[in-house]
Amino acid sequence: MEKDKEMPIHAPIKIGISMGDSNGIGPEIIMKALQDQRILLDCTPVIYGSSKVFSFHKKELKDLEFNFNTCKTPQDIQAKKINFIHVHQDEFIVELGKPTSESGKLAFLSLEHATKDLASGVIDVLVTAPISKDAMNKSGFQFPGHTEYLADMAGTEALMVLCSDALRVALATIHIPLKEVATALTKELIVEKIRVLENSLTKDFGLHKPKIAVLGLNPHAGENGKIGEEEKNIIEPAIQQVRNEGILAFGPYPADGLFGSKLRAEFDGILAMYHDQGLTGFKALAFEDGVNFTAGLPVIRTSPDHGTAYDIAGQDKASPNSFRESLYLAMDIHRNRKLHKEINANKLVIEKSAVKKTENKIQ
């Protein structure tokens, strides 16, 4: 994947949107999030999906107005309009509230088309609606989730980061059984994850010398080896190594103590050791507006931090807040990356100029 488009920092950003599982709340939250036309001043949405599915959900929502511009080619994408690229033209039966092989196939098609256009520069960023991994796996999707799929496409290590206004929580391990976490954790892995998180906080969030809290694996962060030795043997050496590199990493901290106290506000990011350790604390504090961001990629992808919510699909109960925040975060990161690139490019020009002047004086 490569991405390097030259455009003004404040130009409307083309946001690709994969529709997620058609039998869940994906189409509903997409339509609700795009209801306020003011968002079209900042971005140009491009939805990848089936218009038949969206028509079905629109009828279920009754009073919702939702119109779009159908695009046959990328050249048909229009600014200040909601654009729609059809990835499935055949008849499709929506079965609200349950994953099916057909809903998985359609979700996979949507994601494939969107990521292809993301990689080629047709769209600037990608926001993914929730999928059912069971349904996707039935259609040939061989990954535990979006994060692993995008990392494989990019050929790089990715980092799942849950974001809100006041909290950013990254995961050292993601979709693996709890019994495998201790084995998967190595000093090298933690060092790499801290590096990726620090780089993302700097480049994607515009933070200078960000402070990172690293959680322990065991209760009470091992309590000096009394409740496990992973902290002493793996996590603490990893923290020391990155500190020697100039990264402001601290810990390991007990997860319950950090999430349950004001201490968390002193850090720009938190690295958790496993999925539920990080997500339980995060969602307890920021479930309504949380965003899942895939750091470490050359492209930008965000998504809401909730799932398909089959239990409320088609009932007009789904909140679009997290999806809307995903749109805005994707735009913010896109601008931050361009600004970071321009600042560093100017810095390089200045440094080269200073060297040249020095050389001229010497001569």
Q: What is the pLDDT along the chain (363 residues), one digit of tens a residue?
A: 544 444 444 568 999 999 999 999 999 999 999 998 899 999 999 999 999 999 999 999 887 888 899 998 888 999 999 999 999 877 889 999 999 999 999 999 999 999 999 999 999 999 999 999 889 988 888 898 899 999 998 888 899 999 998 899 999 999 999 999 999 999 999 999 999 999 999 999 999 999 999 999 999 998 889 999 999 999 999 999 999 999 999 999 999 999 999 999 999 999 999 999 999 999 999 888 899 999 999 999 999 999 999 999 999 999 999 999 999 999 999 999 999 988 887 665 555 454 455 445 544
Q: What's the CA gap between 102 and 177, in Å, rounded?
A: 28
pLDDT for the residue 354: 47
Closest CA to 252 of 194, 181, 165: 194
Instruction: Kindly state whether residues 286 and 341 are assigned to the same domain.
Output: no
Q: Among the three residues 291, 313, 343, which one is the final residue of a domain in this structure?
A: 291
In the chain, the number of structural domains is 2
Helix H or strand E segment including 159 = strand 159-163
Q: What are phi and psi of 189, to 5 degrees?
A: -65, -45
Return the bridge partners of 106, or none: none
Closest CA to 323 of 309, 302, 301, 300: 302
The answer to whether the CB of 94 falls within 8 A of the CB of 308 is no
Task: Decide the pairing of beta strands 83-86 and 125-128.
Answer: unpaired
Q: What's the CA gap between 245 and 288, in Å, rounded?
A: 36
Instruction: Kindly state whether residues 272 and 286 are assigned to the same domain.
Output: yes
pLDDT for the residue 103: 94
Q: What's the CA gap between 213 and 270, in Å, rounded?
A: 5
Query: Residue 41 is encoded by which pair of tokens?
Result: 């001043």
The answer to whether the CB of 109 falls within 8 A of the CB of 136 is no
Instruction: Kindly state whether residues 281 and 322 are assigned to the same domain.
Output: no
Query: Residue 168 is encoded by which pair of tokens?
Result: 């950013």
Instruction: Kindly state whether residues 149 and 161 are assigned to the same domain.
Output: no
Instruction: Kindly state whether residues 262 and 181 are assigned to the same domain.
Output: yes
User: What's the alpha-carbon Rg for the chain, to the nearest Å?
Assistant: 22
Instruction: Kindly state whether residues 56 and 190 are assigned to the same domain.
Output: no
Q: What's the CA gap between 171 and 57, in Å, rounded?
A: 34
Instruction: Kindly state whether residues 46 and 131 are assigned to the same domain.
Output: yes
Q: Among the three residues 259, 291, 323, which one is the final residue of a domain in this structure?
A: 291
Which residues have C-beta within 8 Å of that of residue 315, sequence separation ≥ 6? Answer: 60
Instruction: Kindly state whether residues 96 and 123 are assigned to the same domain.
Output: yes
Q: What's the CA gap between 331 and 16, in Å, rounded?
A: 11
Closest CA to 171 of 14, 38, 68, 296: 296
Query: Residue 203 is encoded by which pair of tokens?
Result: 């480049």
Closest CA to 87 of 139, 40, 133: 139
Q: What's the CA gap between 262 and 344, in Å, rounded?
A: 34
Give the CATH number, domain containing residue 16. Answer: 3.40.718.10
- Domain containing 194 equals 157-291
The answer to whether the CB of 32 falls within 8 A of the CB of 347 is no
pLDDT for the residue 130: 95
Q: Is residue 3 part of a domain?
A: no
